[in-house]
Amino acid sequence: MDRRTIFGGQLLPALLVLPQLVLTLFFFYWPAAEAVWSSMTTTDPFGQGSVFVGLENFAELFSDPLYLQAILRTVGFCLAVSVLAMAVALLLAVFADREIRGRAIYRTLLIWPYAVAPALSAVLFLFLLNPQVGLIGRWLNRHGIPWDYHLDGGQALLMVVLASAWKQVSYNFIFYLAGLQSIPRAVVEAARMDGARGWRRFRTITLPLLAPTTFFLLVVNLVYAAFDTFGTIYAITKGGPGQATETLVIKVYRDGMINQDIGGSSAQSVVLMLGVIVVTAVQFRFMGRRTSA
């Protein structure tokens, strides 16, 4: 079934993967090892003296109720962003998959937001939702709906979820569209012959056949929401009000770069790294099972 190109000998394959290995070594393993090391030390900002403290930084982290809250908040945020971004993308993909005039234009326009930098998407949402200068924000306040994400934590969270999800819809859209197009017409036709219509056909035929795509997207979206939303959140709320929008990545940045708490911040990075390892392992396991089945 698989077609594979087999290189002879040992040297050539080794040579071919070497650049990637070197890059991984320098840009991943080395910094990661540094992070693990500094997560077990207490050091002054200038690194003039550092003391090995073992797992003290981690113990402190997990005894801090604010950190535990941040974990829960991040999980909630990631799920909200992923579900929203994927649901909207699926809906749009289903519509764009139909025979409609100007299909190519719709598709191109839908893919556009993916190219927008996080900080810019944040600014776009500020222009819409800022209570003083935003189009929608002003409108809401004028019509007696108090809207002020500077003070209302729920609204702030809603706003960063919207801005983060909006950016990811395009990516999901591409994958869902491709997924829809790869569903064999015959299966759909057969369902149609059996009298399955509209929603029922979608639920019983399309959705299950999209499951692999959905699973892949879920993992990608969770990782996106956990890590790549930093720019968007930082530009909109800086983590506030209170800590309403402070996700783990924002906290790592704040503690490490602004507060110069290198040890504590490294410990948080290590925890995040473990999280990514777990998510990736789960993905490989399930994806692997699927291809071998």
Residues lying near other proteins in the complex (CB under 8 A): 41-51, 66, 132-133, 150-153, 238, 240-243, 254-255, 257-261, 263-264
Closest separation in Å from C-beta 228 to other proteins: 20
Closest separation in Å from C-beta 3 to other proteins: 36
Collapsed DSSP state (helix, strand, coil) of residue 152:
coil
Closest CB to other proteins among residues 154, 195: 154
Closest CB to other proteins among residues 264, 275: 264
Closest CB to other proteins among residues 43, 214: 43
Cα dihedral across residues 177, 180, 185, 188: positive or negative: negative
User: For the chain, how many residues are written?
Assistant: 293
Closest separation in Å from C-beta 49 to other proteins: 5
Closest separation in Å from C-beta 254 to other proteins: 7
Closest CB to other proteins among residues 50, 283: 50
Alpha helices in 25-152 (DSSP H): 30-38, 56-62, 65-96, 103-111, 118-129, 135-142
Closest CB to other proteins among residues 130, 164: 130
Closest separation in Å from C-beta 226 to other proteins: 22
Q: d(Cα 69, Cα 73) in Å, to the nearest integer?
A: 6
Question: CB within 8 A of 254, min separation 6: which ones?
Answer: 239, 246
Closest CB to other proteins among residues 238, 285: 238
Question: CB within 8 A of 1, min separation 6: which ones?
Answer: none
Q: d(Cα 127, Cα 139) in Å, to the nearest integer?
A: 12
Closest CB to other proteins among residues 204, 260: 260
Question: What pairing do the DSSP bridges indicate for beta strands 50-52 and 41-43?
Answer: antiparallel
**Both tokens assigned to 89:** 């993308």
User: How far from chain centre, in Å, is Cα 232?
Assistant: 12
Closest CB to other proteins among residues 113, 240: 240
Collapsed DSSP state (helix, strand, coil) of residue 138:
helix
Q: d(Cα 64, Cα 111) in Å, to the nearest integer?
A: 41
Question: CB within 8 A of 199, min separation 6: which ones?
Answer: none
Residue of 131, 133, 156, 164 lying closest to 241 (CA atoms): 156
